[in-house]
Structure formats: C-alpha cells, structure tokens
C-alpha cells in the first residue's frame, strides 16, 4: 500500500509539473515577497515591425496561491462576483467576461503605452493572474483580443520559476475597412438547475470587445436573440452580464451561435444529505462521554469499600463482644 501511495505521489508530482494553461506552465512555489513583471512586445504580424503608441490596460483579477505542489488562483474582490469559472486561461470567453465585468464597474487598471520599440513593461506585480486589454482607441488598424497572463510561471527547461514574463500579443486580423459583408450572431440561453430560475438575464453584444448593445432574454423571446446586419469589419461577441448569484456561467460558440449556460451546482442525490448542522456560535461537540468513567469507578469503589468496611467492622465488633 505504501509503495502504491509513493508511486501515486510521484505520478502526481510529474503531472503537476506538466500542468499548463495558456502558453505557459505554472507550477507551485512559495510566492512570499517576490514580485514579477509582464513585458509585451507589439509587433505587426504583416510587416514584422514593432508598433509604438499602442496602449494596454492591466487588470489584476486574481491572486496566485500555493497549492501543495501546484498553483491556484483566487479572484480578487470584486472579481469573485463574476460567477465564471474556467478550466483554463485558454477559454476565449474568460477575458471577455472579465473585461465586461471590469468595465461596467469601472474597476482600477494600469495603463501603459508601447515605446518606440513596441515594448511595454508592467512591473512590480504581485503573483497572480492579470487581464490585459488593448486600449482600442489606439489600435485603429488591427484587433488584439483581451488575454490573461499569469506571473510567475514555471520554466520546465530550466526547472525554475520565472517571475518576469514576456508575452507577444496576437494581432488577430487587420480590419478590412472596405468590406461591405455582413454577418449575424445568435445568442441562446440555457439553464442547468433543478430549482426555479430567474425570469430573465441580460446579455450584451460586443463589437471589437466593447459593449454596444444590451438585450434581455426571457421566456417572452424564448431565451434567444439574433443580431443581424453586423459588419464583418469587426469582431462580434456576446457576454452575459450580472450572472445571477449561485450560478456559474459558461459559453459555447458554434459558428454564429453563442450558447450561454447558467449552471447551478446541486448535490448528488445518491449521497447522504447532512443532518441539520447549524449550531450557531459553537464548535462541534466532538467528545465521548468519558468523564463519568473515573468518577463512577471511584465513587463505586468508595461506596463498596465503605459498605464492606461497615459490614465487616460491625461483624468483628459483635464477635469481640
């Protein structure tokens, strides 16, 4: 059994070391007082030339924490209210969801502009996950999707933690400004819960990652909406705003349709439900009834001895008389 557990632990270490999200591979560390940096180099994908005067906004969305031999992230306040969990940073909707969440609440960010060499350095960063969003006013000729970067990251080659991260934002496409082509996007709402769901939700249409229109989905429109005549000059996305408490949102995009699912985690019915565990202001009573044992045993011995003594001393006295 011990050997099996040893190998299981060894296997886990190997698995953790290879765990990766985005283009990087973070593993555990003691992130005590160290700080990191994120350097961006903005390069035009068509000309390979660096681009200056492109501004980026940096949002600190989560704090990195040690996780045994791994790493985990905890949303910073108030991002923990965004009600979206991710299997990895690769999910394209996570940065969009967080971006809308942050912009709607006017959350703090750091803004820097690329220098003549196309470089931007966000430094003195506490370990965590950072949402990086171009200031689209400064990117009129191309589009860069928002993305998330973590510092630190684990370099498997050197076997060391890297706190200073270099990232090259992906210029996704150059906007064909002369196109007249139109497209459409349909959003559908799904619920996965066994309880009664809210009557409506709000979804927003994003054009080049900025909110342009909001609609309400409900039974009246069969939890669905379609936007037509959308210019192909832009990137179009749909994000749910204000995900109801207790629900976790997920997005599934297939061609021109975005399915937004709100799931309410519920207990597995095969498991035994806990009894009422509400004992306010008290730690659980976790003791056996032990104290009566020595008390009763001592009392019993004393009583028996006393009785025995009374009986026998009385007998002796009688005999002597």
Residue with tokens 């006393």: 306
37: nearest Cα among 168, 134, 166, 170: 166
Question: Which residue, 23 or 306, is less far from other proteins as judged by CB?
Answer: 306
For residues 189 and 206, give the distance between their C-alpha atoms in angstroms, rounded to a whole number.
17
Q: Is there binding between residue 11 and other proteins (CB under 8 A)?
A: yes
Q: Which of 199, 228, 275, 320 binds other proteins (CB under 8 A)?
A: 275
Question: Which residue, 173 or 308, is less far from other proteins as judged by CB?
Answer: 308
Q: Is there binding between residue 246 and other proteins (CB under 8 A)?
A: no
Q: What are phi and psi of 129, to 5 degrees?
A: -110, 135
Q: Which of 195, 254, 271, 321 binds other proteins (CB under 8 A)?
A: 271
H helices of the chain, where? 2-18, 93-104, 292-320
**Nearest approach, Cβ of 62 to other proteins (angstroms)?**
7
Q: Is there binding between residue 292 and other proteins (CB under 8 A)?
A: yes
For residues 29 and 123, give the distance between their C-alpha atoms in angstroms, rounded to a whole number.
19
Interacting residues with other proteins between 81 and 140 (CB under 8 A): 85-89, 129
Question: Which residue, 212 or 295, is less far from other proteins as judged by CB?
Answer: 295
Burial (CB count <10 Å: 0-12, 13-18, 19+), residue 58: buried
**Nearest approach, Cβ of 63 to other proteins (angstroms)?**
11
Question: Which residue, 182 or 299, is less far from other proteins as judged by CB?
Answer: 299
Q: Is there binding between residue 28 and other proteins (CB under 8 A)?
A: yes
For residues 317 and 302, give the distance between their C-alpha atoms in angstroms, rounded to a whole number.
22
Question: Which residue, 246 or 307, is less far from other proteins as judged by CB?
Answer: 307
Q: Is there binding between residue 74 and other proteins (CB under 8 A)?
A: yes
For residues 33 and 298, give the distance between their C-alpha atoms in angstroms, rounded to a whole number.
58
Q: Is there binding between residue 181 and other proteins (CB under 8 A)?
A: no
Question: Which residue, 100 or 120, is less far from other proteins as judged by CB?
Answer: 100
DSSP 180-221: --EEEEEEEEEEE-SSPPPSEEEEEEEETTEEEEEEEEEGGG
């Amino acid at each position: 059994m011990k050997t099996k557990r040893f190998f299981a632990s060894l296997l886990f270490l190997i698995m953790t070391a290879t765990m990766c999200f985005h283009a990087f591979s973070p593993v555990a560390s003691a992130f005590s007082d160290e700080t990191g940096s994120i350097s961006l180099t903005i390069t035009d994908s068509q000309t390979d030339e660096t681009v200056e005067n492109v501004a980026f906004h940096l949002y600190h969305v989560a704090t990195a924490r040690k996780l045994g031999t791994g790493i985990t992230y905890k949303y910073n306040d108030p991002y923990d209210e965004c009600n979206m969990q991710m299997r990895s940073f690769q999910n394209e909707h996570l940065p969009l969801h967080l971006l809308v969440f942050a912009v709607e609440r006017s959350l703090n960010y750091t803004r820097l502009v690329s220098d003549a060499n196309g470089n931007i350095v966000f430094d003195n960063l506490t370990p965590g996950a950072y949402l990086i969003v171009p200031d689209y006013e400064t990117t009129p000729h191309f589009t860069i999707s928002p993305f998330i970067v973590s510092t630190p990251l684990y370099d498997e080659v050197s076997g060391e933690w890297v706190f200073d991260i270099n990232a090259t934002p992906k210029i996704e496409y150059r906007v064909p400004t002369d196109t007249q082509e139109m497209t459409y996007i349909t959003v559908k709402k799904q619920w996965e819960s066994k309880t009664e769901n809210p009557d409506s939700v709000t979804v927003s249409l994003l054009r080049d990652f900025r909110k342009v229109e909001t609609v309400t989905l409900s039974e009246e429109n069969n939890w669905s909406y379609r936007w037509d005549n959308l210019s192909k000059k832009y990137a179009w996305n749909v994000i749910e705003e204000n995900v109801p408490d207790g629900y976790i949102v997920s997005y599934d995009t297939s061609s021109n349709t975005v399915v937004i699912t709100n799931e309410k985690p519920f207990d597995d019915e095969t498991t035994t439900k806990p009894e009422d565990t509400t004992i306010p202001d008290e730690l659980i009573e976790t003791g056996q009834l032990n104290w009566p044992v020595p008390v009763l045993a001592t009392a019993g011995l004393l009583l028996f001895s006393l009785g025995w003594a009374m009986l026998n001393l009385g007998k002796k006295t009688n005999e002597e008389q």
